[in-house]
Chain A
């Protein structure tokens, strides 16, 4: 069905010292959208660029697509510099945030469009289009027009249209952001399954960190045009190298502390008068001086106020019940500590206004500089 030899077509992508400077709209100044970033995407890998809006992730994607021209640096697709290659000759494909389905063509013709443009024999166009319709379970609606199908179906059509031309690289520009939460979860799993099955090199852009975690081999965190960290979802969550990454990727309590010294791997710190031993402070941890403890809410435990484990003491300001968790907010040390209790069903929950002790699962605590 024409999809089998997909992985052989896939190639690697390399961004080398890529910079993009825009003129600002009023013409007075310049905006550095992407600032000297380098990134290698291996063949068959799905890499997600994750960052807040305006971080340069979409610009990066559009440069790979060929819709924007780098101000400096180069893009290599399959080892070849694509600077002189227009978008329609790059052999890549893209799934757009708005899907960008052709409103005047029916679903079959939308999907066949890329094949028709290549002027392939009619039989091959028909065969490959039918195969992809089948694969994406769109066969029954192939004669309908985009406005006559649901959002989730439009999403699948956009994906089908992008992969039927067997691109060497597939780009995703926030493809799921127009779907409602349940469908988004379903589609991202489908998408990941398909991508793995086809072994197609993919660059994916999103601002949704959960989505990034769910589908990526590796995640690239961007902020203000620069890459802040690259790593597997687990590495990024468990070993953030900056406070930005720690707080952007999930929630984190950031507690200023004094680093007293090391005991082997472990760091000894002073947190508001309590002496703590942090067994895995992380390689970004400063050796001494001021630092910040990074503690995920799920690594914070509420204990009896007199307990020996209590590193800090505070009064619960607010308790929010989410069903799967109960979240406490405890103002302490000029900040508000978040603590999450998993599976609160049937458990004794602490009251708002109750003074409690706060303790940390030391294994999960990391230390970062400012």
Chain B
């Protein structure tokens, strides 16, 4: 295979003003809402009290034991969570792709719940089950001095939250590995166990490393869980927030943000660029024959037991919150009440409305931007194409806390005085959720024969007409599934927007966080239940829309 050459991309783009316009527009957006805030953090941390260049704050931060302990805490938590979540994810993925496991649909559903769930659920359950009035610790086991707050709880909660990421990554890899390779090993006389050890496992190794890195990033940037359940175990994402809002130490917060950004960025670059060349996944476009599923009961039943145990934990945790929302005082008075819902509906109506409104604004924007960037990056040649790809995927690796701090630094003064506005929150949603849309668009585009767009072009259509009338309709499915995800992510976002809300624009997730801060756990549970209902309804509606608008294209594609 060969690639485009030399200066021709430049001449190409200059001949196409519409393309040029969109490229510049995307770059302007990426610069303003991704790069500029990051630059502001960096600049701020090397600026002294008097406004000149100074490394004092940076040196102080790196040598300060508190900062270092927090940094180490985050790293250790990230590594431990990554290992546990990836192990669970791999077992799930293997059981679902390689064996004749019963109830596959059920397990798949279990693995998607944490992805679309509002924040705080698992931490709240942890408190309900193992806290001072914990159902398990106090009621069942009679322990009343168990400390639920700390790293041990965080590891549990994050492992459950993030194993679906590992599962989804690894399923993709395991499904795409050519079954003929494993069949060949079997044909050569290898046992199932040997095939797993010598073929399947090594071939899925890049996927495992990829999953480890992705979970590591998620754990490092997690705000909602450590914010309510870490106790004295400080993590960067939360400490940066507390330093700024509690101690009004912007510089300290910026330094923490940088400490947080460094490892996540590194993990992202490793995952994206170093690993991408190492994949063994064979994409030939040639239909592969079906896979022989392992039906050996000695393999299937232990795996089933494991998956069932995980499913039980997930159900237990979500069920606990559901029950908790309807009882008077958890741990003391378990009688049924709707009081918490009444409380939430009076206090939480505005934030809920805000969250839904802003998410609804951000969703189509995110979807469009994602598709446009995917189209430009996959199909067009222009200078800076790789840069655009990198920067737009970068938001995945930039923790929300860092984004939030960057935004207040960047948009608190002219010419971009935007803090406290709904617009800035929408932008934060849009640019943070964009990578998912881009991923969906990219993978769809790579499957669509490029000559379909060339046909449109040679028949006289400009590139914008081609995009609008040919590419976009074919991307419909990816576009709408991107929409669902981006809506959910916007509704459930905490870390970036916690810096951006204002009295006028408070959001539901932040309200839940406030309930935690004042130990109103039952009200928090009720609020979470309301959010879950809203999310389920929204997914239902969007899903219907997808079927209504997206389905014909799929049917016609055969």
A residues touching B (Cβ–Cβ < 8 Å)? 20-25, 31, 33, 65-67, 69, 71, 84, 86-90, 92-94, 96-98, 100-104, 113-114, 117-118, 145-148, 161-162, 165, 171
Q: Could you tell me if A165 and B452 are in contact, using CB atoms closer than 8 angstroms?
A: no
Q: Which residue of A lies closest to B473 (CB)?
A: A104
Determine whether the beta carbon of B557 is less than 8 Å from that of A22: no
Contact call A23/B459, Cβ cutoff below 8 A: no
CA distance A98 to B15 in the complex (A): 27
A94 contacts B455, CB within 8 Å? Answer: yes
Contact B460 A118 (CB under 8 A): yes
In the bound complex, do residue B552 and residue A114 qualify as a contact, i.e. CB atoms below 8 Å apart?
no
Bound together, the chains give a CA A97 to CA B455 distance in angstroms of 11
Is B5's beta carbon under 8 Å from chain A? yes
Cα-based distance from A67 to B451 in the complex (angstroms)? 10
A80 to chain B, nearest CB (A): 16
Q: How large is the interface on B (under 10, 10 to 19, 20 to 34, 35 or more residues)?
A: 20 to 34
- Interface contacts beyond A93-B459, A147-B557, A165-B459: sample of 9 additional A-B pairs, CB < 8 Å, sorted by A: A22-B4, A31-B2, A86-B15, A87-B457, A87-B458, A92-B458, A96-B451, A103-B553, A147-B558
- Given known contacts A87-B454, A100-B455, A102-B456, is B557 in contact with A23 (CB within 8 Å)? no
Complex contact B5–A21 (CB within 8 A): yes
B8 beta carbon closer than 8 Å to chain A: yes
A39 CA to B95 CA, complexed, in Å: 61
**Given the complex of chains A and B, what is the CA–CA distance between A220 and B12 in angstroms?**
29
Q: Take A23-B2, A25-B3 as given contacts and tell me if A88 and B452 are in contact as well, using a CB distance cutoff of 8 Å.
A: no
**Bound form: Cα–Cα A114–B458 in Å:** 9
List 5 interface pairs A-B (beta carbons < 8 Å), by A numbering.
Answer: A22-B5, A25-B1, A100-B452, A103-B558, A117-B459
- Looking at the assembled complex, report how far the CB atom of A102 sits from the nearest CB atom of chain B, in whole angstroms: 6
List chain B residues, Cβ under 8 A from A23: 2-6
A145 to B458, CA, bound (A): 21
Nearest CB of chain A from residue B299's CB, rounded to whole Å: 40
Q: Which of B4, B459, B469, B556 contacts A146 (CB 8 A)?
A: B556
* Contacts A71-B5, A86-B15, A117-B465 given; does A98 touch B449 at CB 8 Å: yes
- Bound-complex Cα distance A97 to B1 (A): 18
**Closest chain A CB from B503 CB (angstroms):** 47
**What are the residues of chain B within 8 A of A71 when measuring CB–CB?**
5-6
User: For the complex, what is the distance from the CA of A291 to the CA of B457, rounded to whole Å?
Assistant: 50
Task: Return B7 CB to nearest CB of chain A, in Å.
Answer: 9
Q: Is the CB of B457 within 8 A of A104?
A: no
| Contact (Cβ within 8 A) A100 B459 | no
B16: Cβ under 8 A from any A Cβ: yes
Bound-state CA distance A69–B456 (Å) is: 18
Contact of A165 among B8, B12, B16, B460 (CB under 8 A): B460
B351–chain A nearest beta-carbon distance, Å: 40
Q: Which chain B residues in 539-558 approach chain A with CB under 8 Å? A: 552-553, 556-558
Tell yes or no: B470 within 8 A of A by CB: yes
Chain A: minimal CB distance from B44 (Å): 38
Using A102-B452, A103-B553, A103-B556 as known contacts, say yes or no to A94 and B3 having CB atoms under 8 A apart. no
Residues of A within 8 A of B470 (CB): 102
CB distance from B349 to the nearest CB of A (A): 42
